[in-house]
Structure 1
C-alpha cells in the first residue's frame, strides 16, 4: 500500500471554494428558519386540538337541532327538499295499484274543487269501515279532514268504489299529502298541488230580502263590513242536509300573503252537537256570531262545521 502524500491530504481537507460560504450570518438564518418551522408545527397542533372539539359540537348541533331552527340557519336546504317533491296521483303497494286520484283541473287553494278517488280493491275490503281522508300541507304542517264516513254501499252504477267523489277546499297553496285511512289505519297516500288562491272579494247574493256575502245555496253571512280590531255582529246562513250541518261551528281566517291561520269564532262547547240554529231568510240553518279581524287588508274567512271546511269567503278589512 502506497504511503499517503502529505500535500494532497492537506488539499483534500480544504474547502473547494475560495471563500467560506457558511458564514456566521448564514448560520443564524438557518437557525432562525428551523425555529420558525418548529413554532408553526406547534401552533398547528394547538389549533387542531382546540378547534376539533368545537367542530364536533357544532356538527352535533346541526344534526339534533329542531327543524324550524335549521330552517332559519339553512332555509334553502328545506326549500330544495320540498321543491324536489311532486304530485303523486297513484298509490301502489307491493307493486299493485290501490288508489288513483283525478282532481279538478287547475285546482286552486281557497276554493271548492272536485276530486274523484278510484279504489281498486274489492268492495268487501271497505264495507262497514270508517274511511277518513285527511290533507296535510307540507309547508306549514296544517292538517285538514276533508271526509269521514262509514262505507255502506258501492258507488251508484259500479260494483265497488270506482268513483268515490268528493268536493272540498284547502286553505293554502302548495303541495298537500292526501292520507286515506280505514278505521284509523293508514291505507294509502297521494300528493296533490294546489295553485295560488284568488284574493278577489267574494260577491254578494240575495236570499229572501237580504244580501249575503258568500255562495248561493251554500253558505254566506249578512256583511256589516269589517274594521280592523273591532268586534261586530254577523249572521251566518247555511244550506245543506242535517248530516252536513250538525255539529260545532267555528271560523278561522288567513290574511293575504300569510300562512298563519287565526281563530275568529267558535261555538259554545255545550251546544257543539248542534250549534247552528233553525231556518232563517230562506236558509236551512242560521247562526248569529261576533267576529273581529285584527289588521287592515284582505282576509279569507274559513267556516267549519264539524271540522269540515265549507266554502271560504274573502273580505276586505278597513
Structure 2
C-alpha cells in the first residue's frame, strides 16, 4: 500500500510515530478505530469496510480477559516483578486482544500498547473495542510480523505474548524479537504450554488400556478425544522438528524448562524465570475434563468413575511442588540486562 492511501483524517497516536521501521499506513476505513500496516509491507492487506463496521458485535469474547489478567497478576506478584507505572508495551500476536492487550489496559492504567498480529480482521475487533472504551489513544493496532525487525530497537519497557511462541516453527525468533525491542532492564512475559502434558498422555493411555482389560468400551466420543490428545502430545514433544507432521501442526510445541531457559539466555536475556500456573489437588482430573469438553464440543460428556479414579491416582502420586516441576501451563519471564 502506498503513502497516497494515508488520509488527513486518520493519523497514528503521536507517541507511536518513532516506534516502527517504516511509515504507518491505514488499512481500514474507520477513522475512529483504525488498523495500521507498514508501508510497502506485503503482509498487510486492506480490511473491508463491511468487516470494520461489524467488528463491534464481538465484544462478548472479552469476558475471557479476566482469566488472563489473573495470570499476569499472579506472575507479577509471585516473581516480584517491577513494571513501570506507565509502561510502553509491545504485544506479539495480539489477535483481538483478549489474552494480553485488555488485561494490560486494566493492570497498567497509563500504559501505551502496540498490538501486532498477522490478522487485520482480529485487530479490527480490538480497534473497535478500544474505540468504544475510550482507549484508542493508548493502543495502536498494526498488521505485521511481530517476529521480524519491524519495531525500533530498545524502546519498550515490557513485551507480552499470550500463547504465541508455541505456534512458531522457530520460537527463538520470537525471543530474539523481544530482546531487540526491550530497553535495557526491560522484561518479557509469555504464557506457554509445557511438556508436563506428557503425564496426561500417560493417564489417557492407561485409561484406554484399562477399558480393554475391563471389556468396558468408552463412549466413542470420549475414546476419540483421548486418542487425539495422545497423538497431539506425542507430536508436540517429538524431537523431529523437521517432519511434515510438525510443520502442519498449528500448536507445535510443548516446551521443556531446559529449552526455554537455554533459548532465553542464547537470545540475549540475562535472566529467565518460569512459573507454573497449575498445581492444585485435582489438576489431572480437571484438565482431562476440560480437554474432553473442548475436544468433543459437547457439554456434559464425562468419564466413567473408574477412569476418574485413574486420573485422581496421578494427583495423589504428585506432591504440589512436583506438579510445579512437571508444569503443563506456565509463565516465562525474561529480563534483559540493564
Q: What TM-score, normalized to structure 2?
A: 0.22
- In terms of fraction of residues, the more strand-rich structure is 1
- In terms of fraction of residues, the more helix-rich structure is 2
User: Larger radius of gyration, structure 1 or 2?
Assistant: 1
Q: What TM-score, normalized to structure 1?
A: 0.23
